[in-house]
Structure 1
Amino acid sequence: MGKAMKKNTKMSYEIGELDQYLFGQGTHYEIYKKLGAHKAKKGKKEGIYFAVWAPHAQEVSVIGEFNQWDRTASPMKRHEPLGIYDCFVPEAKEGMLYKFCIRTQEGEYLYKADPFANYAEVRPGTASRIVDIEDLKWTDSKWMKDRETWDHNHEPVSIYEAHIGSWKRHPREEEDGFYTYREFAHEATAYIKEMGYTHIELMGIAEYPYDGSWGYQVTGYYAPTSRYGTPEDFAYMINYFHRNKIGVILDWVPAHFPKDAHGLANFDGAPLFEYADPKQGEHPDWGTKIFDYSKAEVKNFLIANALFWVEKFHVDGLRVDAVASMLYLDYGKEDGQWIANKYGGNQNLEAIEFFKHLNSVVLGRNQGTMMIAEESTAWPKVTAEPEYDGLGFSLKWNMGWMHDFTEYMKLDPYFRKGCHNQMTFAMSYAYSEKYVLVLSHDEVVHLKCSMINKMPGLGFDKFANLKAGYAFMMGHSGKKLLFMGQDFAQLREWSEERELDWYLLAEEEHRQMQAFTRDLLHLYKKNKALYECDVMPEGFEWINADDRERSIFSFIRHSKDDKKNLLFVCNFTPVARPDYRVGVSRRKQLRLVLNSDEKQYGGTGAERPVIYKPKKQECDGRPYSIGYDLPPYGVAVFEF
């Protein structure tokens, strides 16, 4: 009885026995409400409650602006069995900087940022900052309600991948010139709506120290980066996107973390978040630490973090970075640098189990959200359900398609006939997973050239090639992703150090490229045939996949009811094909809905009919056909 009474007098903000039990089991999905720094009241005193997991530490104290960074001023109490330390500091106030001072078993002192902090000082500073995110303002209830019944399998998903710090910048030389979350929300929304994208994917949101890592080496998993404003500003941005019917996807990095002294590496003087053995716990190529997926608390840290972004900040999906590096124990390693699993194989069994747990919980608790895998190998069942031995992701980036597509597009048109199958091969495995076709930031950095400069030829040829490529991509099965700047043919490679070359839009050919991409995106969004049956073979039909001599591809996209279908014809050579014949199965008239030869797209503007009536003339194994004057690099899309 006495024990029960004692338990009831425990303040609600404090770590309790149940919290420790659930965290130790890896199932405390809201552990971020307990660990970290939170506003609290002890008796009549208001202050901040601090808690941190540091089982290897001899002692821990919290230091900050509230105690002149004195490591003896605010000692923390240890709680067993997990080694969580906590304390209440009445002098601590919102906005103040703090760190945890950890005395290791060897007697050294480490000064660590809070792993659960919701805000950090702007780099190069490394301290955490106290902030209250309990009462964020949301007015996106309609979006959130509609999301519960939204199904990505049968809805349009066209993603604008963006990096806030280099999208646009203010011309302020004495500062970074970054747009704030609020400024970016307004300007990016206007652009996305005009262009016709359905989602924005944001690179590098969780706090990170080094700009050149683009946000893929995280030190603050629970803090939106302070480069662009406060957590409240970040919530405003998400809310604004939702009010304008734009979904938000964040890049999320559970694969590895950097070795920065204030971060997670050797957090309490010993490997805690990472595997202890360097053969398991380090990426030799990246110079980073690998999370220890065998530890329940580490898995809990990551799964709760995914839920934090989705549930606390209303994010609609997470694009999980570097999945392959987690699945393979020998990823990026030479013989002797890695340890096999208990069966002697190179699969990380603990990471596999982590993914199944992660995706089951995030998607199970949040209907209508997406978990997207950036997985670059042929690992099976990435998007299959965990009960069928799948990893449980909603979608997978189609890196195979991306590689084949870019290699084909780089070729001189004369040689494309020899590599014709690079454009058709992806359809042979299109239904083995649920795919996103991606032309991401990775394809336009590190001397890979921008998309326009991958194209062969000069001037008109480059732009016409890219238009044909984008049309093929939009017609192909799979969701779509395009990195910022590529929709108006950015000439230079992307760099995080400068804004996009928006000045190019003063030139006609770049405006024409943008107009063509915009109209493709709107065509995609408003035609069910282009997304409704993405995951079903009946949604795609080749008309002619074998016209290699002329490097022309023709195919149909079908809607569920088969009432409004689209026929694509794409010419990948500079040779005009007058009266190019395309076979059709029915004698139904076709209407030309997109023609790359229009003046507004940089074409000749030659007049041509809008309506085409099939003749009884066999072609492509079909009883009827239409003839169309296909220009050099010409694209035509017909509705029937």
Structure 2
Amino acid sequence: MTKNDIDHSHPEIIDGMLRRRLSADPLLTPYRDVIRRRIVRTDEMELRLTSGKITLADFASGHEYFGMHFKDGRWVFREWAPNAREIYLKGSFSDWKVMDRFALTRISDTGVWEITLDAGDLAHGDLYRLEMRWPGGRGDRIPAWIRRVVQNPDNGSFNAQIWRPDAPHQWRHPRPRKQRGPLLVYETHIGMAQDAEKIGSYAEFRRNVLPRIRRAGYNTLQIMAVAEHPYYASFGYQVSNFFACSSRFGTPEDLKALVDEAHGMGFLVLMDLVHSHAVKNEVEGLSRFDGTPFQYFHEGDRGDHPAWDSRCFDYDNVHILHFLLSNCRFWMDEYRFDGFRFDGVTSMIYTHHGLGKAFTVYDDYFDESVDEAALTYLTLANRVVHTLSDTAVTIAEDVSGMPGLAAPLEDGGVGFDYRFAMGIPDYWIRLTKDTPDEFWSMGHLWHELTNRRADEQTISYAESHDQALVGDQTLIFRLMGSRIYSHMSVLTEDIVVARGIALHKLIRLATLATAGHGYLNFMGNEFGHPEWIDFPREGNQWSYRYARRQWHLMDDPLLRYHHLATFDRDLTAFSTEYQIPFGQEIFLLHLDEGSRVLAFLRAGKVFAFNFHPTRSHTDYWIPAAPGAYRVALDTDREGYGGLARQDPGMIHYTLTDRIHRHFLSLYLPSRTALVLAPTTDDRETG
């Protein structure tokens, strides 16, 4: 029994959980009863699911019962459809006709249907659907629990496919250990991860992109758009088939080979898991699966997401919890994912989905708008995931700041390992969009970068895929504009490009250095990819021109993209060597609005930023512990596209003032940052 299997129902156990929660954040004290209710609610739901006879992880194994399975020489297929009156398998094996021999039999009052077929009735590669008949209607449906779905290239329709290859993937590498240190996350999308104007494949990603990410120094992959989705341009966020990896990128064996290879390189591999909503499509989705709009979703208006034009799960329904919890386990069992980034958590946990809501007081987290059923589901999901693997990682994408999301399960929290610091990229965008950098406030900057819950682990980022989408702009494009297309050669000089490159480095270093426990980057942003993401659609004549990553730009030493890529590689190396960020305390050393200087101490390292656009500071005194310091990182290096105004080999010694305070006297060139690490004083050891 693991700590996640502990019986939480005893009052003294709940009291202990509450004490730890309130000790970590005393501002929660007025909401003690609500927090207690939520803990009890989760335990009651777990008991309801397991009846106290099995573990929650065992309950979350519906994928081994439902769907298509080959067992003991026969095919067995099961589906849950309580409103159905008749269900038939039909496909290439029946010439797409309804036949009595392929009729399912209802085997339970809850609406479970089953059919058993001989081995020769179905073969690997066969295509099929269900014909679902209900009172007053009928329709074709892709099975809800199916593991393989393919698209017809002629008409765009989807079908389920029998998947039982002669040579299934043989796993070669064990899961890596959980990272002891900062999580350096590389957010990536398989289809657009290649130079060519096409959809990339799992195999191409494994061969061509994985080695790049390893050389770049990241230790964690976060893969988007894994589950099947009908509309490519949805970025994978309109899921239709929750147990099928997207066939537009290749086969299940190809995805397994990718994850296996990534594990061999030492990567943790996380899946972008979308349990916040589902696509409205009916044939290939879950909407009106058995003829009712509410089988998997809330009834009435609450079942529709007004902003995303999608369906909202009913997290209080036992059958839906079975489906979603089993989905978590499936991806870990079948594809050996090491965990998940849960998408759209804010949308899940509030009935208003966070739309138009500014979360300003704690009351916002405990009022009637909170969907406590969704919080219960997320807590149960974390119990399942962390029971299955003690190296698992879960991340919550929440913009509201809901307390307790990343608090430990044993402390009455929801149990995520990390939460995203989503206000930071929004701040950088607002700053670069609305305020010339000569007017940037160091005080506001410091507040935004360090304003986070001290009792929960966070991952910061300067920008993600959200800022790279068409209709928005990446940081590099906001800083340079159209000059990025014409002035990135190292053989030319341009004041706008020089500014953009300098600030791009400062923004990334400041974000990583002040982050809580991890740092994220979206692929290509590290080297200032010049174009936004725009998937093929009618408005761009179905072009793939902007749905790709132009790796050749960073490979060319005559282009300044190469400088940014080199800086990012050294930034991750710095993070790995000094284990920053990894929860160390951070202390403000100096803040000067007029000089645009910001300096702070973390893990014994002195970080000194000069954001001033024109003024370089000489003999600038920064408080520091007494001793000698060497240069650990300098954004002004020539290899990073800088002017090399620092002596990289210089040892800096602290000085004292008249009242015996210690300072470093530094040269801080304009728009640069310097990181100094304590070193041995050669004058004493020599």
TM-score (norm 2): 0.81
1:469 aligns to what SS in structure 2?
helix
Contact 1:274 1:281 in 2 (8 A): no
Identify the residue that residue 533 of structure 2 maps to in structure 1. Answer: 494
Q: CA shift at 1:71, angstroms?
A: 2.0
Indicate if the aligned counterparts of 1:57 and 1:105 stay in contact, CA closer than 8 A: yes
Report SS of the residue matched to 2:594. Answer: coil
Paired residues for 1:429-578 under 5 Å:
429-438=452-461, 439-455=463-479, 458-478=496-516, 479-496=518-535, 497=544, 498-505=547-554, 506=556, 507-528=558-579, 530-532=580-582, 534=583, 538-544=584-590, 546-558=591-603, 565-578=604-617
Alignment correspondent of 2:369: 346
Aligned partner of 1:240 in structure 2 is 261
- Asked whether the equivalents of residues 436 and 481 of structure 1 are also in contact (C-alpha less than 8 Å), the reply is yes
Matched residues in 1 for 2:295 and 2:596: separation? 52
How much does 1:358 deviate?
0.8
SS class of match (2:59): coil
Give a deviation string over 1:148-193, Cα, whole Å, max 9, x none. Answer: xx3x5x422111111111110546xxxxx33321221121121011
Matched, 1:34 2:65: yes
The Cα shift of 1:49 comes to: 1.4
2:465 aligned partner, one-letter code: H
TM-score (norm 1): 0.86
Aligned length, in residue pairs = 586
SS of the equivalent of 1:458 reads: helix
Does the C-alpha gap of structure 1 residues 259 and 622 become closer, same or farther in structure 2, counting only changes over 3 Å? farther
Amino acid paired to 1:315: F
The aligned runs of 1:48-87 (5 Å cut-off) are 48-73=75-100, 74-87=102-115
Offset of residue 399 of structure 1: 0.8
Alignment of 1:337-416 (within 5 A): 345-410=368-433, 411-416=435-440
**What SS class does the counterpart of residue 121 from structure 1 fall into?**
strand
CA displacement 1:594-629 (0-9 Å, x = unmatched): 11222111112235252333343349x981112222
SS at match of 2:521: strand
Identical aligned residues as a percent: 23
Task: State the 1:322 CA deviation.
Answer: 0.3
1:104 is the counterpart of 2:127: no
Give ranges in structure 1 of 5+ residues lacking alignment.
Answer: 1-17, 172-176, 336-340, 559-564
Provide Cα deviations, 1:248-290, integer angstroms capped at 9, x if missing partner: 1110100111111211001100134433422221101111000
Deviations 1:480-523 (A, max 9, x none): 11111111111221223331233433342111111111111111
Contact residue 320 and residue 374 of structure 1 kept, 8 A: yes
Residues 622/53 of structure 1: CA separation in 2 closer, same or farther (3 Å cut): farther
Query: Whole-Å Cα distance in 2 between the matches of residues 240 and 208 of structure 1?
Result: 25
Residues 160 and 485 of structure 1: CA distance in aligned 2, closer, same or farther (over 3 Å) = same
Equivalent position SS for 2:377:
helix
Q: Which residue of 1 aligns with 2:151?
A: 122
The residue aligned with 1:163 is 189
* 2:173 counterpart residue number: 140
Residues 239, 274 of structure 2: 8 Å contact kept: yes
* Aligned equivalents of 1:469, 1:582: Cα separation in 2: 23
Preserved CA contact (<8 Å) 1:36 1:116: yes
CA spacing shift, 1:605–1:611, aligned 2, 3 Å: closer
SS for the counterpart of 2:89 is strand
Greater Cα shift, 451-460 or 346-355: 451-460
CA RMSD of the aligned region, Å? 2.7
Deviations 1:60-119 (A, max 9, x none): 11111111222234000101132111102221112111111110121x221111111111
Q: CA deviation at 1:369?
A: 0.9
Tell me how far apart the structure 2 counterparts of residues 297 and 400 of structure 1 sit (CA, whole Å): 35
Give the secondary-structure state (helix, strand or coil) at the position aligned to 1:60.
strand
> Are 1:249 and 1:316, in contact at CA under 8 Å, matched by a contact in 2?
yes
* Cα 1:188–1:580 shift into 2, 3 Å: farther
**Would you say 1:606 and 2:680 are equivalent positions?**
no
Structure 2: runs of 5+ lacking an equivalent:
1-48, 358-363, 481-494, 536-543, 679-686
Counterpart of 1:623 (choices 661, 667, 670) is 661
Task: Check if 1:302 corresponds to 2:331.
Answer: no
Amino acid at match of 1:379: M
**What is the aligned partner in structure 2 of residue 637 from structure 1?**
675
Write the letter of the residue equivalent to 1:637.
V
Q: Secondary structure at the match of 1:613?
A: strand
Q: Distance in 2 between matches of 1:604 and 1:387?
A: 52
The farther-off stretch of 370-379 and 265-274 is 265-274
Q: Aligned partners of 1:215 and 1:622: how far apart in 2?
A: 59
- Offset at residue 569 of structure 1 (A): 1.3
- TM-superposed CA distance for 1:21, in Å, is 12
Aligned pair in 2 of structure 1 residues 274, 344: CA closer, same or farther (>3 Å)?
farther
SS at match of 2:192: helix
Partner of 1:291: 313
2:623 & 2:52 partners in 1: Cα distance?
65
- The equivalent of 2:20 in structure 1 is none
1:215 counterpart = 2:236 = yes
- Determine helix, strand or coil for the equivalent of 2:128: strand
Aligned partner of residue 635 in structure 1, secondary structure: strand
Please give the alpha-carbon distance, in whole angstroms, between the structure 2 residues aligned to 1:330 and 1:69.
Answer: 43
DSSP-derived class of the 2:459 partner: strand
Pairwise CA distance, 1:407? 2.4
